Amino acid sequence: MVMQKFRAAAASNRSTLCIGLDPDLARLPEHLTRDAAGIVQFNQAIIEATSDLVCAYKPNIAFYEALGSAGWQALKQTIASIPGHLPIILDAKRGDIGSTAKAYASAAFDELGVDAITLSPYMGYDSLQPFLERADKTCFILCRTSNPGGDDVQNLALANGEPLFLKIAELVAERWNGNQNCGLVVGATYPSEIATIHQRYPELPLLVPGVGSQGGDIGAVLAAAGEQAIINLSRSVLYASSTSSFAEAARDVAQRFLAPKQALNHP
């Protein structure tokens, strides 16, 4: 199962960091071309500089789709550049009717060959079923996201007084996780809510964006969820420098974020 791959990578690199490969053409280092070839060169340098510091990589499909067929090829080249022992999470946030979802699942798992994907639960179980049925893959389902607008829906109070995001967590843990291949996406900007989710459903791995540029605190996340938190870093690592030494700068930033985790494990 993919979670075994996550755990093996985390143990080998003593890290639960995940780097989001979200290449913004406008922010690429000055010496790189602002095109798909530049993205591949940028991603490959980031991967080479950080592959011993992470437990996974997470390319966001939008940055590649925006470039058309060249972007799709850049995504495939990026995936091929990631060492085989490291899991790849496709950040796609899919969620649609069954036949469409089946095609999305095939694109992610068969065409691209990724290990995991992010999904939106808004349309319910049947929109997720083609992904969940793939017992050899992991599905991270949006629960409590790090963006401020998430409150508009995720924090709506149910009849029992609890927020909607806790119902999503319950559905994932108790009804949708028959293949033991589910996790949740929970933003680092809400550490108390991470703690609540983790206390109720400690078996679920948590993909945690929002550390770094969005203001989430890695120490608070580790205190709330410990080893179950896969902590995603994107912009703070990718754009640590706009010079030709950008990859070295990215490594330095990743190492600084890694230090609190290692301190927690080795007092």
pLDDT value for 259: 66
CA-to-CA distance for 196 and 239, rounded, in angstroms?
A: 33
Q: Is 167 tagged catalytic?
A: no
DSSP 170: H
pTM score:
0.95
pLDDT value for 260: 56
Helices and strands, number each (H, E), in the chain: 12, 8
The residue whose two tokens read 């690592």 is 237
Residues 6+ apart with CB under 8 A from 157: 163, 164
CA-to-CA distance for 139 and 141, rounded, in angstroms?
A: 6
pLDDT value for 266: 43
Domains (range + CATH), the chain: 4-265 (3.20.20.70)
Residue 141's closest CA among 123, 162, 114? Answer: 123
Give the residue ranges of the chain where pLDDT is below 70: 1, 213, 259-267
Q: In this structure, are residues 15 and 53 in contact, taking their beta carbons and an 8 Å threshold?
A: yes
pLDDT value for 1: 64
Q: Which two tokens stand for residue 20?
A: 């989001």
pLDDT value for 215: 74
pLDDT in tens, 69-92: 999 999 999 999 999 999 999 999
Candidates 5, 58, 76, 93; catalytic one: 93
Q: Which two tokens stand for residue 241?
A: 């420098």
CA-to-CA distance for 8 and 211, rounded, in angstroms?
A: 23
DSSP 55: S
pLDDT value for 261: 56
